[in-house]
Amino acid sequence: MNQPPNTPPPRRPANANPAPHFPGTNPAPHVPGANPAPHVPGANATPSIRCPAAAAKDPTPCEGPQDAATIIDRHGRESAGCIHHCARLLAGLEGARVHPFVPAPQALDIYSRARELPPFAWEIGR
CA distances from 65 to 6, 33, 111 (A): 31, 23, 17
The pLDDT assigned to 54 comes to 87
Helices (H), the chain: 83-92, 104-116
**Cβ(48)–Cβ(36) below 8 Å:** yes
Query: Residue 44's pLDDT is what?
Result: 45
| Residue 82: per-residue pLDDT | 92
Residue 118 pLDDT: 82
Q: Using alpha carbons only, what angle is made at residue 8 by residues 92 and 34, rounded to the nearest 5 degrees?
A: 95
- pTM of the model as a whole: 0.59
pLDDT at 71: 92
Low-confidence ranges of the chain (pLDDT < 50): 21, 30-31, 33-46
The predicted pLDDT at position 83 comes to: 92
Instruction: Specify the DSSP class assigned to residue 72.
Output: E
